[in-house]
A and B are shown apart, each in its own frame.
Chain A
Amino acid sequence: MNTGERKPILQMKGISKAFPGVQALDSVDFDLYPGEVHVLVGENGAGKSTLMKILAGAYDRDAGEIIIDGEVQTRWGPAISRAKGMAMVYQEFTLVPYRSVMENIFLGQEKLRGGIFLDRAAMHKEAYALLESLGVPVDTHTPVIELSVAQQQMVEIAKALSLDARILVLDEPTSALTVRECEQLFDTIRRLKQRGVGIIYISHRLEEISVIGDRVTVLRDGRLIGTRQVADVTADEIVKMMVGREIKEMFPRHYCEPGEVALRVEGLCTRDKLRDVTFEVRYGEIVGLFGLVGAGRTETARAIFGLDPYTAGTIELMGKRVHHIDPPKAVDMGIGLLPENRKRDGLFPILPLKDNIVMAGLRKLFPSGILSPRKERQKAKEYVEKLRVQPPDLERQVRYFSGGNQQKIVIGKWLAMGPKVLIFDEPTRGIDVGAKAEVHAFMDQLANEGNAILMISSELPEIMGMSDRIYVMYDGAIVAEFPRGATAEEIIRYAMGVKS
């Protein structure tokens, strides 16, 4: 790609953005030329989406310039961003499920006849032409819910292009696609390049960079690490740029000799995600399950806990095969799941602290079925002290606690049931550094007390710092197992599906 002689359509200079407690972006530069695919990579939390949200006008920047076609933009917002030709295809689709492809493409910008009535014929024709030019001749009368994920994505792209987009942002566009569908998407991207559309391509999959990218920019911890021509850089170099950070003393893992196998999963498959997942967790062990977004980690946890059905495979708990599992049974058998989205799945935000802690363990605590408020408080107090929840106010509604303390409350809630096997799904996502270290210390203590812990995380330092063993997932399957001490490069290479 010869970018030297062309003028960039987009330049972002010195963009900074802080959120309470985090510098999400620190003076980041980014530019884009027409007809170019500029790949943006970085670990979770590196600042990719913040940068794109600033570009889309969804966030205001603290500092920096946005320059379109050489002109510094003094005003910026969602509407201006759109008017300047910015279009974004989000990871979660913004389609109306039961309406036709055509209606979705033209939603909000319908063509009219006589000023009042929809000109369906014209819109169908144009929608079809648009899709055909993308290489996906779909019947525009079909409700989008009947399309494959890849086709739905094409509809999203067509929707963006119907606005005459010149800058198209694709956020993890292949995370839900099969290999063949990816090929189709790449074909479309090549067509768009020929038309002079500039594409910002966010991806976690390294092997895609060389297939589709022209340049690649790496962000880490909100800083620009570098921008390179794809032709001049190897996958290993990109990984190094992404990871190169020292792991601090945040991970107080004291190894102890593991005991018996507590949980054993063999050949687990689900209908649309997991393929032949096999692993085991022993008592006294912290096992890390690493993988990128969409790799199937959460799905694994859900299947084990009985939230989603599995189509094949076996689950063994303490050496006994489990034939059917649902959440109440899982709890009875001593499995605890700390969900990824703790606000939605793990807590009752408007109930007080004490109710949240005793909630899941009520039956164990009060076998007679009659509650004793005194005993309830006593039990809640025990865990609040153990976990050092701040402030230790039993009557305070959970929604008023900080993220770190909420996570501690979720942990307390499960501990109150006395589980032996604990699944932590992203245990420290979105909580501050201090609380993080506390949660880690607590996990260490739990393991050393003889509990089996499966820790799902997409934060590599956490996985490497806390796990006794590490499994890596990619595309619904476990692709590697590492002992403690594996290097970040090794782990991330497997997680990104780079074949060695």
Chain B
Amino acid sequence: MSVGTRKLSLRSVLMSIPTVVWALLLMIIFFARSTPAFFTLSNALNLFRQGSILMTLCMGVIVVSISGGIELSVGAVMTLAGMVMAWTLVNWQVPIPVAMLLALVVGAICGFLNGIFVSKMGIPSFIATLGTQGMTIGLSLVINNGYVIWGLPEALDRIGNGMLFGIPIPIWISILAFISSFVLLEFTPFGTYVYAIGGNEDALKLAGKPTWWYKILVYAYAGLMSGLAAIIITSRNMAAQPTVGLGMEFEAFSAVVLGGCFVPGRGTVIGTVLGVLFILVLRNGLNVMGIPTYYQLAIIGVVLISAIIMSILVERRLHG
């Protein structure tokens, strides 16, 4: 019995290393060899600084994905939170910390609404979050008649483009998001319930837990992370642009799936970080190689589908 158990554990260890790790390594080697500019410190810093937004968003999306939902509104919610933040800074001259808090609140409220649609009204998450996406994009455009909001206070620049201990502050924020999601999922009962909702919701219901409430919290948390990302992007650009989050859902979703979360109840924060790195390296590498943005989207799509096919094949081999 014990031998059998150990063998199975080895399998699970193998299985828990997502294909994305190997793909990531291969890709880094490929870009490093083909383009000298790729493997430089400045490029690496640039990559992480740009990636901090996607990373922060994904730290929310992964929680929704594990619970079995699909979150398609994070980019749009981030945009709205950024617009509200900038608008209040410029028009009401609110203090920067208040504006930042406002961004978080707007994000969390949007997420909470998603949660109510999904959990209380039984709307499929795909549809609910798509609806929220539409609503928030619309609101973002309404706020300043579709124009970019400029003229943010100088001090904000220190957050978006400043450094702390030699590392850009946006990277620190994304690390904060990472720690938050990691601790939440790995070390708290809430995390266990998120996995249980994705894996077998009835099990949690029979254990006497209010699953509906946890589901709402899951989406609210994702919204909060969108608010956090809004702080980064607004302070980095020193402007709020009503279309800035377009397409971010696609990248976030891809990163989470590449990171091994394509079955409800599975997936990890670490895997998601790897998935994000994969997307970032791929985009950055293609940029450095001079491949146009339009092609990049198509390439990410192809990579996404191939990665899932690979994972399914590996799974079949291991379980077959």
Contact = CB atoms under 8 A, between A and B. Distances in A.
Interface string B1-19: 1000100110110000000
A180 to B, nearest CB: 12
A107 B196 contact: yes
Contact of B199 (A99, A110, A146): A99
Count chain B CB atoms within 10 A of each CB in A78, A79, A107, A139 and give the residue with the most.
A107
B207 A117 contact: no
Given A94-B200, A97-B200, A146-B8, A108 B188 contact: no
Contacts of A143: 12
B187 A98 contact: no
B192 A97 contact: no
A96 B189 contact: no
Contacts of B8: 142, 146
A95 B202 CA distance: 9
A457 B234 CA distance: 67
B7 to A, nearest CB: 10
Interface string B199-213: 110111011110000
B188 A97 contact: no
B265 interface: yes
How large, as a class, is the contact surface on chain B? 20 to 34
Nearest to A109: B207
Interface string B224-268: 000000000000000000000000000000000000000101100
B196 A96 contact: yes
A109 B11 CA distance: 29
B219 interface: no
How large, as a class, is the contact surface on chain A? 20 to 34
A141 B9 CA distance: 9
Interface string A135-164: 001110111001000000000000000000
Interface in B149-192: 183, 187-189, 191-192
B208 A79 contact: yes
Contacts, number: 70
A116 interface: yes
A99 B186 CA distance: 12
Question: Interface on chain A toward B: helix, strand, loop, or mixed SS?
Answer: loop
Contacts of B208: 78-79, 82, 108
B218 to A, nearest CB: 16
Interface in A48-105: 78-79, 82, 94-99, 103-104
Interface in A208-223: none
A395 to B, nearest CB: 27
A118 B188 contact: yes
B196 A99 contact: yes
A98 B209 CA distance: 19
Nearest to A148: B4
B192 A103 contact: yes
A389 B187 CA distance: 58
A499 B199 CA distance: 41
B202 A99 contact: no
B195 interface: yes
Contacts of B195: 96, 98-99, 103
Given A104-B203, A108-B204, 16 more contacts: A79-B208, A82-B208, A95-B200, A97-B265, A98-B195, A107-B203, A108-B207, A108-B208, A110-B192, A117-B183, A118-B188, A118-B189, A118-B191, A138-B5, A141-B9, A146-B8
7 contacts: A94-B203, A96-B203, A98-B199, A98-B266, A108-B208, A110-B189, A142-B5
